[in-house]
C-alpha cells in the first residue's frame, strides 16, 4: 500500500509575539500546546507562587547587594524581554557549538532558521552586557521541548543573575607594587580558564557560591540541605550546579559558573571578569511551598490559586492538596433591597452560601458589584465554586443546592434575582 506522507505541522504565514513579527519557515515547530501558554503571565499573576518567589528573590537581592559606596540596589531587574530571540542570542553568543544537542529541533522551539523561543534566560546575557550592564537579574518564561513529568514542563521560568567585576571591584584598591592580578598568561585546565589567575578564580567562585547559598537560605531557611555538584555549560568554566534536598531526594535548582572570557570579550567587557547563574523558579517554589507537581502552576483551579492569593512574599506556607474531583461553578445575580449596603450584603451572602453549601462550596467570588442607574438599585453577582472532596458532584446535585441558595437570598434578604 502507498504510504501516506507524514502530516506536516501547520506553519502560519506570520508569527507575532511580544510586539514583534516574524516570518516562519519550514523550521517552525511550535504546537498549540505551547502557543496557548503565551498569554498566561504567571510571573505577574497575583496569587501565583511563582510571582511570590520572584518578589522574594528581588527583595533579598536588593536588600543584600548594594552598589559600592551608595545605597542603590546593585542588580538591575529585567523583565518582559521579548521571548523570541535570535539563534545568535540563544546559542552562538553563549559559545554553544554548532552540533550541540540543545540546538536540535526536538529540543528547541524554532520560529524560523534565525529565531527561536528562548530556551533559557542566558539568551539575554550578551545583549545586556553589550548595553553596559555590570550586574543584572533577568526573569522570564523559557521554552523547551523537554519531557513531561512532575518536575518538567515545556514552559518554565528562570531567573538569570550576572555580575562582572573590574580589578578594583574584585580585589579592592591596590598597593602600588603589590597588586593582585586578575589576568595572567596561564593555560586552561579542568579547574580554570586560560588567563585567569588562581586568585581570580578563588574570589569569583567564593562570591558566586555565597551569593547563591545566601539566597537559598533566605528562601528556605537556614536548615535547608544543599550540595554543590560539578557541571558543564559552554558559557561558563568552571561550572557548578546547586542541589537541594527535597521530598527524599536531591533536586537540581540552578546552574552557574565563571563566565567564559571569550563571551565577555565579544560583548565588549573583556577587561572584566564575572559569574553567572540560571535558576529554575518552579523548582524553588515546589520546595518552598511543597507543591508536588509542576503542572499545578498552570492550574486555573481556584482551589490552587486561592491558597496563595493572600500571601506576602515572606510568608511561610505549605500547599494543601486539592480535591481530585472536578469543580462546578454557578453564578447568582440579584438587585439588593433598598436600605442594604453592598458591604453588608456581601457579608450576609458569604454566610448564607456557607450555611447552605457547607463543605461543597470551595470558593465564592463577588464577580460584579455596581449601581444600576435605570433600575435605581444596586446589583451584585456571586460566582460559587462547588466541589466535593469525596466524589464528583452531578449537575443535578449542584442545581439543587444553588437553587436553594437563590431562594434564600429572596426569602431572607429581600433580594430580587436578575
Exposed (0-12), middle (13-18) or buried (19+): which is 82, by Cβ within 10 Å? middle
| Type and span of the H or E element at 350 | helix 342-357
**How many degrees, rounded to 5, is the angle at CA 162 between CA 159 and CA 168?**
155
Q: Residue 203 — φ and ψ, nearest 5°?
A: -70, -45
Binders of ligand FA5 in range 89-128 (CB under 6 A):
120, 122
User: Is residue 260 close enough to count as binding ligand FA5 by CB under 6 A?
Assistant: no
Grid coordinates standing for 70?
551608595
Cβ-based nearer residue to ligand FA5, 60 or 144: 144
Whole-angstrom distance, CA of residue 246 vs CA of residue 5: 47
SS3 86: strand
Considering only 277, 308, 382, 386, the residue that binds ligand FA5 (CB under 6 A) is: 277
Q: Does 278 bind ligand FA5 (CB under 6 A)?
A: yes
27 CB-contact burial (10 Å; exposed 0-12 / middle 13-18 / buried 19+): middle
CB contact at 8 A, 22 and 111: yes
Residue from 66, 152, 354, 391 touching ligand FA5 (CB under 6 A): that is 152
| Alpha helices (runs of H) in 145-280, residue ranges in sequence order | 167-171, 198-220, 261-266
For the bound state, the minimum distance from the C-beta of residue 334 to ligand FA5, rounded and expressed in Å, comes to 45
Size of residue set near ligand FA5 by CB under 6 A: 22
Question: Smaller CB distance to ligand FA5: residue 142 or 364?
Answer: 142
Copy the grid coordinates of residue 157.
521560568
From residue 190, alpha-carbon distances to 186, 231, 238 in Å are 13, 11, 8
- Contact string (CB under 6 A) for ligand FA5, positions 377-416, x = contact: ----------------------------------------
280 binding ligand FA5? (CB under 6 A): yes
Contact region for ligand FA5 (CB under 6 A) — 145-153, 187-195, 217-225, 408-416?
Answer: 145-153
Residues 199-238 that bind ligand FA5 (CB under 6 A): 233, 236
- Position among 24, 49, 238, 257 found at the interface with ligand FA5 (CB under 6 A): 257
Pick the binder of ligand FA5 from 208, 256, 273, 401 (CB under 6 A).
256
Q: Which residue is nearest to ligand FA5 (CB)?
A: 280
Interaction of residue 54 with ligand FA5, rule CB under 6 A: no
Of residues 146 and 301, the one with the C-beta less far from ligand FA5: 146
Mark the segment that binds ligand FA5 (CB under 6 A) among 265-273, 278-286, 382-390, 404-412: 278-286
Based on the shown chain and the rule CB under 6 A, indicate whether residue 144 belongs to the binding site for ligand FA5: yes
Q: Which is nearer to ligand FA5, 126 or 277 (CB)?
A: 277
| Calpha distance 92→313 (Å, rounded) | 37
Contacts of residue 86, defined as CB under 8 A and 6 or more positions apart, other chains included, come to 114, 115
Q: Is 165 in the site for ligand FA5 (CB under 6 A)?
A: no
Q: Are 61 and 137 in contact (CB under 8 A)?
A: yes
Residues of this chain that interact with ligand FA5 (CB under 6 A) are 120, 122, 144, 146, 152-153, 156, 158, 233, 236, 252-257, 276-278, 280, 282-283
Amino acid at each position: 500500500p502507498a504510504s501516506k506522507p507524514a502530516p506536516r505541522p501547520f506553519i502560519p504565514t506570520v508569527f507575532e509575539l511580544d510586539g514583534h513579527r516574524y516570518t516562519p519557515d519550514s523550521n517552525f515547530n511550535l504546537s498549540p500546546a505551547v502557543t496557548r501558554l503565551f498569554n498566561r503571565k504567571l510571573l505577574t499573576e497575583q496569587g501565583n507562587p511563582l510571582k511570590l518567589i520572584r518578589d522574594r528573590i528581588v527583595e533579598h537581592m536588593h536588600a543584600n547587594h548594594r552598589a559600592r559606596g551608595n545605597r542603590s540596589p546593585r542588580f538591575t531587574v529585567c523583565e518582559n524581554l521579548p521571548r523570541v530571540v535570535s539563534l545568535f542570542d540563544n546559542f552562538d553568543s553563549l559559545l554553544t557549538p554548532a552540533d550541540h544537542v540543545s540546538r536540535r529541533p526536538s529540543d528547541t522551539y524554532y520560529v524560523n532558521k534565525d529565531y527561536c523561543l528562548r530556551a533559557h534566560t542566558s539568551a539575554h546575557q550578551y545583549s545586556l552586557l553589550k548595553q553596559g550592564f555590570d550586574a543584572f537579574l533577568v526573569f522570564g518564561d523559557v521554552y523547551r521541548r523537554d519531557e513531561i513529568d512532575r518536575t518538567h514542563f515545556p514552559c518554565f521560568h528562570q531567573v538569570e543573575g550576572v555580575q562582572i567585576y573590574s580589578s578594583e571591584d574584585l580585589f579592592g584598591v591596590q598597593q602600588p607594587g603589590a597588586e593582585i592580578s586578575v589576568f595572567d598568561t596561564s593555560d586552561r585546565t579542568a579547574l580554570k580558564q586560560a588567563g585567569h589567575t588562581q586568585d581570580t578564580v578563588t574570589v569569583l567562585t567564593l562570591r558566586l557560591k555565597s551569593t547563591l547559598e545566601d539566597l537559598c537560605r533566605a528562601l528556605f531557611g537556614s536548615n535547608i540541605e544543599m550540595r554543590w555538584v560539578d557541571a558543564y555549560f559552554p558559557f561558563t568554566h568552571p561550572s557548578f550546579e546547586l542541589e537541594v534536598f527535597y521530598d527524599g531526594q536531591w533536586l537540581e535548582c540552578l546552574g552557574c559558573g565563571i563566565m567564559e572570557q571569550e563571551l565577555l570579550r565579544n560583548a565588549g567587557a573583556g577587561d572584566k571578569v564575572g559569574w553567572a547563574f540560571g535558576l529554575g523558579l518552579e523548582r524553588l517554589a515546589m520546595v518552598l511551598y511543597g507543591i508536588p507537581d509542576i503542572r499545578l502552576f498552570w492550574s486555573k483551579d481556584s482551589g490552587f490559586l486561592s491558597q496563595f492569593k493572600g500571601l506576602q512574599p515572606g510568608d511561610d506556607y505549605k500547599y494543601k492538596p486539592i480535591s481530585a474531583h472536578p469543580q462546578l461553578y454557578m453564578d447568582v445575580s440579584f438587585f439588593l433591597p433598598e436600605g442594604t449596603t453592598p458591604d453588608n450584603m456581601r457579608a450576609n451572602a458569604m454566610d448564607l452560601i456557607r450555611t447552605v453549601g457547607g463543605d461543597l462550596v470551595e470558593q465564592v467570588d463577588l464577580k460584579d458589584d455596581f449601581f444600576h442607574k435605570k433600575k435605581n438599585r444596586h446589583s451584585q453577582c456571586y460566582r460559587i465554586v462547588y466541589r466535593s472532596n469525596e466524589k464528583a458532584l452531578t449537575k443535578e446535585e449542584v442545581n439543587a443546592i444553588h437553587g436553594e441558595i437563590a431562594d434564600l437570598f429572596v426569602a431572607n434578604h429581600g433580594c430580587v434575582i436578575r
